[in-house]
Amino acid sequence: MSYDALFQLANALVLPQWLLIWFAPRWGFTKKLVDSLLIPALIGGLYVYLLATASSPLDPREFGSWAGVRGLFSKGNDATLLAGWVHYLAFDLLAGSWVWRDSQERGIAHGWVLLPLFFCFLLGPVGVLLYAILRLVFRKRIARTSFGK
């Protein structure tokens, strides 16, 4: 399978879970899918395959410096670069799933969570940051309303 096809496959694998947490957040199947870790596990399998077919083996010492990390990608092949993309897909999905799950447990209206979820999809850590701010706002709002009782 070509790297372009693997890229398309990886993107297609994460899309159903993203669509469900955006548009069917209270559907029982959404919770089952997110809790199962099925999609991140499939992405993990693709990641392992890509690492195994990368042109140079990973050296854990390379993760200790910027030059080492840069070297991983500069001397790697398409499998190395695609593994990096798949890594982002998996962790952004896990971050978005955590945001969705936590907001459900806290009873935060889904409309408030859509923007952080969107940013988790595009820029994982930005979405987590936005959600952390949202949690603070809701915590203060709950504390204010509870204080007067």
Query: How does residue 142 score in pLDDT terms, banded at 50, 70 and 90?
Result: low
d(CA 97, CA 30): 10
Q: Do residues 45 and 13 touch, judged by C-beta distance below 8 A?
A: no
Q: Do residues 53 and 80 touch, judged by C-beta distance below 8 A?
A: no
Domain residue limits, the chain: 3-147
d(CA 108, CA 17): 20
Question: What pLDDT does residue 60 have?
Answer: 81
Question: What pLDDT does residue 146 have?
Answer: 44
Residue 112's nearest CA partner among 94, 124, 90, 130 is 130
pTM exceeds cut of 0.85: yes
Q: What is the pLDDT of residues 27-64, one digit of tens each?
A: 999 999 999 999 999 999 999 999 998 877 777 888 89
* Token pair in block for residue 144: 């204010």
Average pLDDT, the chain: 90
